[in-house]
Amino acid sequence: MLLLLKGGFFIVLLLAASVIDIKKRIIPDTICLLIAATGFILFEPVKLLGCLSALPFFLAALFCGGIGGGDIKLMAASGVVLGFTGSIAAMTIGLTAMFLFYAFHAIVQRLCGRECPKAYPLAPFLSIGCIAIYFMNTGGITL
């Protein structure tokens, strides 16, 4: 029952972060804090290492720019729920989904003679990866 509650909260919060990121290009700190708090339902101390999964995003933002602080906090918070290996896998799935979507989008835009936007929201793709890994972990495929 608690596992279902945890998953429900996690998914609803990730979807809320995605919708807000698409509409306003911001991920509220409240959502990130609630996601991290969700990680304390059926808490396992080793999952705290999942916060380190946000380090690549932090370093990319620090040295290259283009990644918002909300994306970094979203991955750190999701790391508390998924653990280190789960959040790295979620990040990989999310970034791969983003790359494939935007590669296809860029091709379609070029064929239509339009210019591609310079920036895109990242939260929807990270959420796809986090939800996929949560279900894999819950279904017994532990990473």
Query: Distance between CA 31 and CA 37 in Å, rounded?
Result: 10
Which segments in the chain show pLDDT lower than 70? Answer: 140-143
pLDDT at position 141 = 64
Query: Distance between CA 131 and CA 35 in Å, rounded?
Result: 12
Q: Given the structure tokens 């690549």, which residue do they identify?
A: 56
H or E element: which one contains 22? Answer: helix 2-24
Query: Distance between CA 137 and CA 118 in Å, rounded?
Result: 35
Q: Identify which of 103, 108, 107, 143 has the alpha carbon closest to the alpha carbon of residue 125.
A: 103
Query: Distance between CA 80 and CA 91 in Å, rounded?
Result: 14
What is the 8-class DSSP label of residue 50? Answer: G
Q: Identify which of 124, 47, 38 has the alpha carbon closest to the alpha carbon of residue 87.
A: 47
Residues 66-97: pLDDT tens digits? 788 899 999 999 999 999 999 999 999 999 99
pLDDT at position 64 = 85
pLDDT at position 25 = 93
Distances in whole angstroms, Cα of residue 119 to Cα of each of 65, 68, 98, 133: 11, 11, 12, 26
User: What are the counts of helices (DSSP H) followed by strands (DSSP E) for the chain?
Assistant: 5, 0
pLDDT at position 128 = 97
